[in-house]
Structure 1
Amino acid sequence: MMNKNIHLQDLGNKDYKVAWDYQEQLFKEIVDFKIHKRSNPETVTPNYFLFVEHPHVYTLGKSGDVSNLLLSEKQLETKGATFYKINRGGDITYHGPGQIVGYPILDLENFFTDIHKYLRFLEEVIILTLSEYNIIGVRSEGETGVWLDVGTPFARKICAMGVRASRWVTMHGFALNVNSDLGYFDNIIPCGIKGKAVTSLNVELGVKEVNEQEVKEKILNHFSNLFQSTFI
């Protein structure tokens, strides 16, 4: 049986390590459930979707190069930021206030068993959300995430993505810059890609602040439609 209900939780502002540990807890819960489910195939595995905002933090994925962090430990402390090596794909990225981070912790066997398709669907959720603000988000070949003006000297990334999956269970996800302090990206080579800028929704719209709750609602609407799911 396939379960397309997704438990939605907004964690508010949460320390990265605390949120990561919570993700791991839910991830393990689903994997363990799947293992025991073999004896009772009529049971359904749960799905979760977490919204969170992190204090200033830099995270480095499994395939990342630590030299893409351009700060020393002391400089990190001065900027009030932390740093973690984590178990998602991708290189280095920044999370902080004004950024909407989404962590879908799904059993993809409830939806489709295709990681490539899953990543493209995550990108599509953000592309469709941006389109509601008359911003054209696109994919950049070989570079996961959502970009603006790809193929021009003004290419810039507005949403980073990185996931982990095991036994078709996902964790980690996307980080959409909405009202972000883009200065913090100057301290890294974002996603290990040199010579490309980052941007934020409020910058693109030329406004001081975008309503983040409104953005979250749009994200959930598009996610629900694409994954044919219901948030509970």
Structure 2
Amino acid sequence: MNKRIQLQDIGIKDFKATWDYQEMLFKAILDTKIKNRREDAGLETDNHFLFVEHPHVYTLGKSGDESNLLLSKAQLAEKGATFYKINRGGDITYHGPGQIVGYPILDLDNFFTDIHKYLRFLEEVIILTLKEYGLKTERSPGETGVWLDVGTPFARKICAMGVRASRWVTMHGFALNVNADLGYFDNIIPCGIKGKAVTSLNNELEIKHVDESEIKAKILKHFSVLFKADFV
């Protein structure tokens, strides 16, 4: 089993271009697995992890409701935002500057074949990372992602998650609000959940800016421990 993960921080990149790149990496892993199955080739499958920051964009998962986007096409253009229906799970979410987006494209046959465990591990990576900043974050029953003050009127989401998997190969991932402009969330019903707020790390710490490179390093540290993986 290959537990090495090829890390790429691709900086600021258009959502559609990144999605196409994810699909290319995803297909290459699937093709290797199919070849192994058909020809008993014994080839090693790759694993990838992409860090990226997107320009303003709203994405709707395959089970989502387009009415959760509260903007018309003209209003989207006014805000300099784009909109895509995509092939991950979940409903609608926002990506934009000041948000750390992570896309693990893994062959789970190299780790464990359990999608529920995979999602819980992604959440745990973020929970452990934010704990280093003194925040007590947790899961919300029946809802993916990472939250604060679950079970209170002040419940708010700090990290959204949505994944796709085929033949135990994953794509898409998580979006952690670090220095994000939370005003953009006012234009959607985030994840289709009414009456729940959204927050960001700088807002919770009551500071203007959090070092995003420091956050990324902490995410990778906890990811490597939980998945028993090495980043290269």
TM range (shorter): over 0.9
Task: In structure 2, give the amino acid aligned to 1:199.
Answer: T
Secondary structure at the residue paired with 1:146? strand
Percent of matched pairs sharing the same residue:
79
Residue in 1 aligned with 2:28?
29
Cα distance in 2 for partners of 1:143, 1:41 equals: 40
**Is residue 156 of structure 2 the alignment partner of residue 156 of structure 1?**
yes
Aligned to 1:137: 137
Alpha-carbon distance in structure 1 between the residues aligned to 2:43 and 2:68: 45
Deviation at 1:43, TM superposition (A): 2.2
What secondary structure does 1:90 align onto?
coil
- Quote the Cα distance in structure 2 between the aligned partners of 1:43 and 1:58: 37
User: Which residue identity does 1:15 align to in structure 2?
Assistant: D
Please tell me the residue identity of whatever aligns with 1:56. Answer: H
- The aligned runs of 1:117-132 (5 Å cut-off) are 117-132=117-132
SS of 1:224's equivalent?
Answer: helix
Partner Cα distance (1:37, 1:211) in 2: 43
Which residue in the other structure is 1:51 paired with? 51
| TM-score, structure 1 normalization | 0.99
In structure 1, what is the Cα distance between the partners aligned to 2:178 and 2:60? 21
Q: 1:230 is matched with which residue?
A: 230
Runs of 4+ in 1 over 6 A off after TM superposition: none
Unaligned runs of 5+ in 1: none
Q: 1:42 Cα deviation (Å)?
A: 3.3
1:185 and 1:141 mapped to 2: Cα distance? 22
The letter for the 2-side match of 1:174 is F
CA displacement at 1:121 relative to structure 2: 0.2
Root mean square deviation of aligned Cα: 0.6
1:141 to partner: Cα distance? 0.4
CA distance in 1, matches of 2:17, 2:70: 25
Is structure 2 residue 147 aligned with structure 1 residue 147?
yes
Match of 1:102, SS state, is strand
Q: What secondary structure does 2:136 align onto?
A: coil
In 2, Cα distance between equivalents of 1:216 and 1:144: 21
TM-score by length of 2: 0.99
Larger CA deviation: 34-43 vs 151-160: 34-43
Residue aligning to 1:6: 5
Question: Which residue in the other structure is 2:206 paired with?
Answer: 206
Q: Give the paired residue count.
A: 231
For the residue of structure 2 that corresponds to 1:12, the secondary structure is strand
Q: Offset at 1:41?
A: 4.9
Any gaps of 5 or more consecutive residues in structure 2?
none
Q: Which moved more, 1:35-44 or 1:148-157?
A: 35-44
Shift of 1:120: 0.1
SS in 1 for 2:194: coil
